[in-house]
Amino acid sequence: MHWNTINSVVQIGEILEKSHTQPIVIFKHSYRCGISSMAFDRLKRYWNAEEMEHVEAYTIDVIGDREVSYAIADELGVRHESPQLLVVKNGQVVYHDSHMGIQYDPLKAAVQG
């Protein structure tokens, strides 16, 4: 699975526009945090390409791109956390979780629901 990178506030509007035609998954990640690395590794390990073929996935480096990370939290009305997983459809967050609550099955249900 290819994870695109969000590293500019300008991209947020473009990505939210895409969410009207396909589900968007955003993983807010800190490369300095062991829990974040563990959650992201687990997510990638269980990711099923066939189940998620219509999904576009993104990461945000919450340290390197802090402004972007907070901007997406403000835009979507979801409290900033790290690590954090967001599923966006039609410009709205339909699912989010953080830390060790990040699991593949609830993500899949949100994407397919």
Report the pLDDT averaged over residues 20-48: 95
So what's the pLDDT on residue 56? 97
d(CA 73, CA 56): 18
pTM for the full predicted model: 0.95
Domain boundaries, the chain: 4-112
- pLDDT for 72 beyond 80: yes
The model's confidence at residue 28, banded by pLDDT at 50, 70 and 90, is: very high
Percent of the chain with pLDDT over 70: 100
Query: What CATH code is assigned to 4-112?
Result: 3.40.30.10
Average pLDDT over the chain reads 95
Angle, to 10 degrees, between the axis of helix 34-46 and the axis of helix 104-112?
A: 60
